[in-house]
Structure 1
Amino acid sequence: MSNGFKFPDRFLWGTATCAHQVEGNNSNSDWWEWEQSKGDREYPLEPSGIACDSYNRYEEDFDLCVKLNNNAVRISVEWARLEPREGEFSEAEFAHYKKVLKSAKDRNLKTFVTLHHFTNPIWFAKKGRWESYKSAHFFARYAKKCAQEFGDLVDVYLTINEPQVYTLMSYMSGIWPPCKKSFLMSLLVQINLMRAHRKAYDAIKSVNPKYQVGIVKNIVWYETLSSKYHIFDQFGVAFMNFIGSGFFLIPIHKKLDLIGLNYYFTSRIGNLRVKNPDNITSDLGWWIYPKGLEKILIDLKKYNLPIYITENGLADAKDEKREEFIKSMLTSCANAIKAGVPLKGYFHWSLLDNYEWHHGFWPRFGLVDVDRESASSAGKLKRTPRKSFYYYADICGR
């Protein structure tokens, strides 16, 4: 790494995936139901369908992790599979995920497992999703069952992925199901997600106090456009940085053993508007700014908790920017560690090209290309490592 910096010997190197985005045929979830009933809506651009067929090809995927010299992997389990009907847990699906987790363990991969990654069981959706006060109870019951069944097959339990992204997309912009646009509703949902995390934390700890439990928080860093910032821009930056980080983390930080950080981009504010450079961006138009990651890590140091970067990557179909992206982001990680940040691991997003939610399959985040032309037949979907795959593998193997 830059200046000969060496990451700590026990640093975890991995990649991340999400069940709905890679497994395929998640037919008991609200997302699947939404995908099938598009009507005249613009989104989603296409349904998830078989996705990457990782439900059946997880061993092949974990073999790729081994080739990457990874010592950890982040996956999610699908609530809609594990509890397809209220209060009725599927023995077959728990057995399946136990095989998945054992497969990772057999390859000496530490397992970071997310319990909720945007999708909900249909029965849960019919009961009001996260708008309902009872949602926290339902989620805690599910989390406890996961802890009871999976036990030590999971090294770190991650309760909820990007709760504020879920809230923004589902209750502010109205793009994701249930496609509502209400500030007050979004606030209520965030409060219930906080409650759900706290209850799930206690539920998992009731099974075994030694189990490690965290949350996955996406954070966008905000800066003023220039040093000659307007006082209102300064206020706007401070406000947005609080809303995007402390607003959610402060109420739950005593129920955290670690923080999972997802970082993709920074936004600059000028005249109370976001004005980002457009010359260094991903295929999705997200500004690539590694220094923002370093600043967020230093800001999170105040919680005195271990930090793991649980997602960091870019859409780059031609694989032209990914190597430099990885190098510059890891340089920021190294700088943060030098500054005393307790950063313990890095998971690149993503192992595979996958279903990128309402965008469909066109954004290519994978270190591994997945041939979508053969997607109509299970057992195909050929995986081909990109050049950046080998670059990251070399770093992980040092």
Structure 2
Amino acid sequence: MQDTPIIPIDKTRRRGRGATVNPDGRFETAKRDFVDDGWGTAELDDREPLKTTVTMERPKSIISRNMSPDLPFDQSINAYRGCEHGCIYCYARPSHGYMNLSAGLDFETKLFAKPNAVELLAAEISRPAYQCKPIALGTNTDPYQPIEKRLKITRDIIELLAEARHPFTITTKSDLVLRDLDLLAPLAKVNLVSVGISITTLDKRLARVMEPRASAPYKRLKAIEILSKAGVRTLVQASPIIPGLNDHELEQILLNARNKGAESAIYLLLRLPRDVADLFENWLSENFPDRAAKVMKLVRSTRGGKDYDAEFGKRMVGTGPYAALINKRFRLACRQLGFESSKYKLATHLFQKPGRDRRQMNLF
């Protein structure tokens, strides 16, 4: 943890949020301490609830590429920066530092949207040298977080991918994905899409404090059921598995998802890169003070005594006896439930470049 404890933001001000604190971004040259100036302004500030703001940005490219050996994709799209779901464990939180913002409450309240995503995507997949490979939606921030209801950037992206017959995957914690079933069902029939629903816990109370603005667990299970009945191949992602907090639910999560129609499953061990470790430990101390020390001890036992080990091959599943036990339990449950052993392979041979109208870039 940090050397100097950060004072939590007032609970009434951060109601419905995940993080308890809002430390300065890691690239900031100065650190700020909040003090009462004697005029009562601090008290007034503490009473004002944190509001979600959305800033429009216009990036120059939209497809992110990686060569990570432990990721099942090498192309991804994130229509948003930051995520209002507020999952305290989110490994993407440190990316807000590049915007000179905090990985804490800033990450879930100060959001960025990319309204030119479709134009950029049309241009990129129209290039002569472009090679069609599945594109992953929702690898960093959720493509169906609450602001998607209004902005519909994810839906616009899916419409373009459907037009181009381009394969893609979706990972989300939101049943808002069902809004786009009219697009997803026909694509599933020609093997162009699969959907991963992330379920961290079946405990409503735990979900409410750990991922406060994501869909409730029962809604995610219902989404799996509806998608599956519509012919969309679904994957349940039991992630993250947190030793001493939700790891006992692993088999039940898999069983419930299988009963609703999920065809395959994966799990990921809790990852605490950079700022996330301190944020998570602060959150644990406030919400589960009786077991905070035990949870962190178990977490570190799966990371070689550290909060996190980013080494490829280890970062997703951890090391040590406790991590090995979780892995064994997962594999046994998958075998007993008849889950497919890997993600569904999507078709790439149907791809056709977008029409000329789609490729025209907006100059303004």
Does the TM-score normalized on the shorter chain lie above 0.5?
no
Q: TM-score, normalised by structure 1?
A: 0.40
Larger Rg: 2
More helix as a share of residues = 1
